[in-house]
């Protein structure tokens, strides 16, 4: 079941961030020196609360009342919905839960009046990039940050 998370559930969400993004941080060599908050794998609780308070919509994917996935999204100008965070815990990956979360994001974006979803990701993460492409996203450009050990690929999906 996918549902909005409450402010009281943010500590659980933070655990999902740390566990879910840790695999990416390790795989791509993210450190505090080359990537703030290690690509959100060590995101401080205060930052997550601030994002919640500033209007980021947050949803959890629950199985038997246990959160196994997280979706963060925010509406922007010009009919764009930004996919801020998308996490499925590693032990639950490749079971269709990510597809369900992404389909939920697409439907919610449409309900909010968006005509496209935008995201940024580590472009070297070929497995994830291919998955997004299979689900309707295309790369629109790339950004290389000076200290980062990766290139950011910006992708979008027309709804």
Give all domains of the chain, ordered by start, each with its CATH number.
Answer: 2-114 (3.40.630.30)
Q: pLDDT per residue over 10-31, tens digit each? A: 999 999 999 999 998 999 888 8
Nearest alpha-carbon partner for 92 in 65, 63, 64: 63
Taking only Cα atoms into account, the Rg of the chain, rounded to an integer number of angstroms, comes to 15
Mean pLDDT of 140-150: 88
Share of the chain above pLDDT 90, in %: 82
For tokens 């909010």, the residue is 112
pLDDT of amino acid 108: 97
Q: What is the mean pLDDT of the chain?
A: 94
């Amino acid at each position: 079941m996918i549902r909005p998370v409450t402010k009281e559930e943010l500590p659980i969400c933070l655990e999902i961030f740390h566990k879910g993004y840790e695999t990416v941080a390790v795989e791509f060599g993210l450190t505090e020196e080359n990537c703030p908050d290690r690509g959100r794998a060590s995101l401080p609780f205060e930052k997550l609360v601030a994002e919640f308070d500033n209007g980021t919509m947050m949803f959890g994917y629950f199985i038997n009342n246990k959160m196994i996935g997280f979706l963060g999204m925010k509406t922007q100008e010009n009919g764009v919905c930004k996919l801020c965070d998308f996490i499925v815990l590693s032990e639950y990956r490749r079971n269709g839960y990510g597809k369900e979360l992404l389909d939920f994001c697409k439907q919610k974006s449409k309900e909010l009046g968006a005509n496209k979803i935008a995201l940024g990701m580590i472009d070297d993460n070929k497995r994830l990039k291919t998955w997004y492409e299979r689900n309707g996203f295309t790369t629109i450009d790339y950004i290389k940050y000076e200290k980062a050990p990766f290139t950011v690929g910006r992708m979008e999906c027309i709804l």
